[in-house]
Amino acid sequence: MYKSSVYSTLFLLWLGHLLVDFMIGIWPVYKTIAHLDLAIAGLISGVAALVGEGLQVVFGSLSDRGYGKILILGGLAATVASAFLAYTQDYLFLFFLFSLTCLGSGAFHPCAVALLGNLTADRKGLFITIFWSGGALGLAFSQLVFSGTYRLLSGNVVWLAIPTFMLISAILIFGFAQASPRPNQSTKKHKFATIGRFFLRQDLTLLYVSQLCNQTVAWATVFLLPDILISRGYVDWVALGGGHLFYVLGAALMMVPAGYLADKYSCKAVVVSANVMGFILLYTLLLTPEIPLLALLPMLLLLGAASGVVSPVQVAFGNRLVPDDPGLISAFLMGLVWCVAEGLGQGGGGLLTKYFESDSPAKALGCVGVCLLIGMTAAMRLPGKAEPQESVLDVVNN
């Protein structure tokens, strides 16, 4: 078996992130194409995410114990379940398929981030934001590619699974670069239950709250945007993927510059600035029903840029705060956030649509958007620089 360099490993993980998040992005547009009940579809999203993404805590711990590559490969394979969503409208089977996708996502993300964190000591922010841009690109094109393929092939979209299996084959052939060993790694007994002790640190708690609020609004936007655009009369290519493309592409284009700025200045400055910009743009969009298409698309691009840069910058910041437990801190700031945020954002957003008679998706998103104010307050209390402290697990074991 060949052995990858650091940069080829970064590329393989970047491509994996693109394909994983591509599969995650299919569900929000399929539920619109299939005219599924928004409340039930939201509950499916919320529960599937709670189970699948919530297990990132377990997967992150296993990654730190040497099972990262197996979990990365298994995670990639599980996410292709989304390629089979279009073959049923049975809610129970849809729940099963989307749960598999979320489980695969939960296995892939913390293991990939932990591997990247161990490949570099002084460019964590840049590497992780490059990795994150792959996921953003996959998510950006997911709805447009899926809806176009669905229409072109009359619903026969199983072919979308082929690139993922090709990548799995490439990883099996080329492998990953050897990560730098961490001190005393062989003597640590990683107990994922101790992840709760991260909440005993104020800086990590503030990071978690800021992440949770930002991701709740981001997932609610992804889930409800197709319905918002359809209800406001935009053409199908915009409502069923084009608007989503610009929203997520904004995040992809801004992630690497945001990682550079966070490394040069501070996580706090980047996150607070992004939150302020995102809040203004979100409510401008929601409170202005008739926005010309030529203004709508740039607005969605800027909104996505403001929303999308927060998560990768804060995950990189968390890896600096807890350098000895990259799998656990990544799971804490991703899986433990996403399993709640996707439930609140998609499940809560879907349920809220039942309380409004007109323009209900936009009004539901407006209610969820208040979370940005809470996240902004938490971000303003973050420290300016990361100060590593003793590993939580070392404290427990001693």
Decide if 392 contacts 194 (C-beta within 8 A): yes
Average pLDDT (325-335) is: 76
pLDDT at residue number 184 = 45
What is the distance between the alpha carbons of residues 244 and 303, in angstroms, rounded to a whole number? 11
Nearest to 348 by CA among 223, 211, 248: 223
pLDDT at residue number 65 = 80
What is the distance between the alpha carbons of residues 319 and 291, in angstroms, rounded to a whole number? 41
Q: Classify residue 357 by burial, with Cβ atoms within 10 Å: 0-12, 13-18, 19+.
A: exposed
Q: Which amino acid is at 260?
A: Y
pLDDT at residue number 132 = 78
Model pLDDT for residues 346-392, shown as the tens digit of each residue: 999 999 999 998 889 999 999 999 999 999 999 898 886 655 554 43
In the chain, % of residues over pLDDT 70: 89
pLDDT at residue number 121 = 63
pLDDT at residue number 397 = 38
In the chain, % of residues over pLDDT 90: 52
What is the distance between the alpha carbons of residues 373 and 260, in angstroms, rounded to a whole number? 25
For residue 19, what are the contacts with CB-CB under 8 A and spacing of at least 6? 76, 79, 138, 163, 164, 167
Composition of the chain by helix, strand, coil, percent to 5: 80, 0, 20
What is the distance between the alpha carbons of residues 333 and 314, in angstroms, rounded to a whole number? 8
Task: Give the number of other Cβ atoms within 10 Å of residue 57's Cβ.
Answer: 23
Handedness of CA 58, 61, 65, 68 (dihedral sign): positive
Phi/psi of residue 356, nearest 5 degrees: -130, 145
CA geometry: angle 28, 31, 34, nearest 5 deg: 145
What is the distance between the alpha carbons of residues 279 and 12, in angstroms, rounded to a whole number? 34
Decide if 178 contacts 9 (C-beta within 8 A): no
Per-residue confidence band for 120, with pLDDT thresholds at 50, 70 and 90:
low
Tokens describing residue 389: 């402290």
Nearest to 150 by CA among 233, 247, 236: 236
Decide if 60 contacts 111 (C-beta within 8 A): yes
Decide if 312 contacts 255 (C-beta within 8 A): yes
Per-residue confidence band for 183, with pLDDT thresholds at 50, 70 and 90:
very low
**pLDDT at residue 180 greater than cutoff 80:** no
Per-residue confidence band for 324, with pLDDT thresholds at 50, 70 and 90:
confident
pLDDT at residue number 168 = 95
Average pLDDT (328-346) is: 82
pLDDT at residue number 53 = 76
Between 388 and 134, residue with greater pLDDT: 134
Per-residue confidence band for 129, with pLDDT thresholds at 50, 70 and 90:
confident
**pLDDT at residue 211 greater than cutoff 80:** yes
Identify the structural domains of the chain with CATH numbers, from first to last. Answer: 6-178+192-397 (1.20.1250.20)
pLDDT at residue number 192 = 52
What is the distance between the alpha carbons of residues 79 and 69, in angstroms, rounded to a whole number? 16
Between 309 and 96, residue with greater pLDDT: 96
Average pLDDT (204-222) is: 93
Please give the model's pTM, rounded to 2 decimal places.
0.81
Model pLDDT for residues 254-269, shown as the tens digit of each residue: 877 877 777 777 788 8
What is the distance between the alpha carbons of residues 168 and 196, in angstroms, rounded to a whole number? 33
Q: Write down the mean pLDDT value for the chain.
A: 85
